Structure 1
Amino acid sequence: MKSYTIEEINEILKGEIIGNTTQKITAPEQLEMANISEISFIGNKKYEKLWATSKAGAAVVNKDISIEPGENRAFIKVKNADLAMSQVLELFAPPAPIFAVDIHPTAVIDQSATVCNGVRIGPGCYIGPKVVIGDNATIYPNVTIMDECTIGKNTTIWPGTVIRERCHIGNDCILHPNVTIGADGFGFRPDPERGLVKIPQIGNVIIGNSVEIGANSCVDRGKFSSTIVGDGCKVDNIVQIGHNCNIGKFCIIAGHSGLAGSITIGNGVIIGGNAAVKDHVTIGDGAIVGGGSGVIADIPAGKTVLGYPAVEARDALKQWAILKRLANESKK
């Protein structure tokens, strides 16, 4: 079991220790569940009240926290407790699943594929013709990577993921279980003689560097060229990204969101959970789409929209207040 003194933890966080404890810290835990040998976090003053009933031996806290830790307990004050929390979690993180051999004998790897240095490939994987897998990539069991794909350095692909032909994944990416990259875009047109005619989807998907895509999410291939997810984007579980979307850098897309085809998204955009975005819409840099919103028109850079259909946040709140007042008056 890993254990650290409060001083050893602070050597990493570079904060200020308030109080004192001789207790070795063995794990991080939330305030309500922590015991004396565990460290917790207070990232907002509204959670100060929970400290009195918490049994945690220590906590990482923001500098504006005004309470004292108490006897044989300690705080580490930092500028941003949420960011410091990530460092503590890394400190206590258990090891990744073990590979008994780097390339499992049940993996099927085409002879034309290129597997670079330090790559690990688990059982039941399929690596197709002319695939290139970069240095130190980790491919967990039952992953399928089809013809002419490239996988960047230090990328991790978890079980059940399918990457279809000619798609490209950048360096330092994480694809969680059962992600699908490069499925056909949803393209059909009615024909009076043949019913719904499938439109061939002959493009691909390009994923940038340091992108993380959550479990069971799907990024469809382009109809003509590429569906693009830019560097640093973080996509939650069960997200649909339609064909020919072009997503900028460092965007956040929360779970159950759906992007229709040919959407353009700028840099630093945040899309809340269960949001839906209409095809051919443009969302400007730094815009925010509230959870559950339905976007049917372009959003200028820096704007926040809410509602269904989505409108500027201030207008949405006014509309909701009016509806609430009307509902209350109707009860009289």
Structure 2
Amino acid sequence: MQTYTIEEINDLLKGELIGNTTQRIEGPEQLNHAKKHHITFIGSSKYLKLWNDSKASAVLLNDNLTLEPGDNRAIIKVKNADLAMARVLELFNPPAPEFETDIHPTAVVHDTATIGNGCKIGANCYVGKNVVLGSGVTLYPNVCVFDETTIGDQTTVWSGTVIRERCVIGNHCIFHTNVSIGADGFGYRPSDDGRGLTKIPQIGNVIIGHHVEIGANSCVDRAKFSSTIIGDGCKIDNLVQIAHNSVMGRSCIMAGHSGLAGSVTLGDGVIIGGSASIKDHTTIESGATVGAGSGVMNNVKAGETVLGYPAQDAKAMLKQWVAMRRLVKK
């Protein structure tokens, strides 16, 4: 087990060390579960009162907060405790599962596929015709990559993920378990005789930029024509739906159970809260935020925060909720 002194951790973080502890740190933990061999963090004043009852020997503390360390306990003051804890987590992050062979004998790799240096392909994977894997790509067991797809350097694809044909994936991406990339978009129209539905062929693809992370069981559908696009640095939670021909700018965030209908456009840095739904052909401009559980029916301006169902300016919606509560009380 790897352990560190509080001085070694502070050297990494370049914070201000207050107090001291002789206890070696064996890992991070939240305040109310921490033991004496743990380091914890406090980023908000509302958690300061929990420090005295916590058994942690050390805490990362936002530098705008004040706290007494106590006997044989230490505080590391940092600008942002959340980001500092992320660096501490990296110290204790267990290694990824190891591959006994670079390409497992049960994997099926088409003769025309191009496999870059240092790739790992796990048991029962399928790599199709004319697929290109860049350097250092990792496919964990039971991943399928279909024909003519390109995956960039150092991308990791976890088990159960299916990447359909003609997709283009960037460098340093992470797809967690059971992600679906490039399945048919949801396109149907009533048939001429009115007795059924006609399926609209979806002949486009999906293009995903660099440093994109997609959570487990999320779906990114291919376009009817052209491409469904996810920009560089986007982070997508579990159980998210991104429909055909949607376009996401750079560094957008989508929380769990949220969804984009067809042909939605997000600017750069858009944040979509959990379980929010975005109507088709809607544009949400750069820097806007959609509150959790909201239903966006109209375009959202840059930097605006919207809330509610249907979504509107957050301040206006909160005033409505207060007014309705007062009516109920009467």
Q: TM-score, normalised by structure 2?
A: 0.99
Contact 1:243 1:262 in 2 (8 A): yes
- 2:100 is the alignment partner of 1:100: yes
CA distance in 2, matches of 1:101, 1:191: 52
CA distance in 2, matches of 1:86, 1:80: 10
Q: Which residue of 1 aligns with 2:121?
A: 121
What percent of counterpart residues are identical? 65
CA distance in 1, matches of 2:138, 2:10: 32
CA distance in 1, matches of 2:208, 2:157: 13
Superposed structure 1 runs of 4+ greater than 4 Å apart: none
CA distance in 1, matches of 2:95, 2:150: 27
CA distance in 2, matches of 1:120, 1:191: 47
Q: Secondary structure at the match of 2:11?
A: helix
- 2:169 is the alignment partner of 1:163: no
Q: Which residue of 2 aligns with 1:66?
A: 66
Residue identity opposite 1:155 in structure 2:
T
Deviations 1:184-205 (A, max 9, x none): 0000000142610000000000
Compute the displacement of 1:8 (Å). 0.7
User: Could you list the runs of 5+ residues in structure 1 that have no partner in the other structure?
Assistant: none
Compute the displacement of 1:301 (Å). 0.4
Q: Secondary structure at the match of 1:197?
A: strand
Q: Which residue of 1 aligns with 2:305?
A: 304
**RMSD over aligned Cα, in angstroms?**
0.7
Q: Which residue of 2 aligns with 1:53?
A: 53
CA distance in 2, matches of 1:77, 1:304: 32
Compute the displacement of 1:142 (Å). 0.1
CA distance in 2, matches of 1:205, 1:167: 5
Q: Which residue of 1 aligns with 2:36?
A: 36
Contact 1:144 1:163 in 2 (8 A): yes
- 2:131 is the alignment partner of 1:131: yes
Q: Which residue of 2 aligns with 1:205?
A: 206
Contact 1:45 1:64 in 2 (8 A): no
Compute the displacement of 1:11 (Å). 1.3
CA distance in 2, matches of 1:325, 1:22: 56
Q: Secondary structure at the match of 1:77?
A: strand
CA distance in 2, matches of 1:182, 1:156: 17
1:259-274 superposed matches below 5 A:
259-274=260-275
CA distance in 2, matches of 1:74, 1:315: 45
1:1-332 superposed matches below 5 A:
1-193=1-193, 195-329=196-330
Q: Secondary structure at the match of 2:40?
A: strand
Residue identity opposite 2:90 in structure 1:
E
CA distance in 2, matches of 1:250, 1:328: 43
Q: TM-score, normalised by structure 1?
A: 0.98
CA distance in 1, matches of 2:64, 2:314: 29
Q: Secondary structure at the match of 1:160?
A: coil
CA distance in 2, matches of 1:145, 1:159: 12
Q: Secondary structure at the match of 1:32?
A: helix
Q: Secondary structure at the match of 2:325?
A: helix
Residue identity opposite 1:174 in structure 2:
I
Residue identity opposite 1:161 in structure 2:
T
Compute the displacement of 1:65 (Å). 2.1
Contact 1:281 1:296 in 2 (8 A): yes
CA distance in 1, matches of 2:27, 2:202: 49
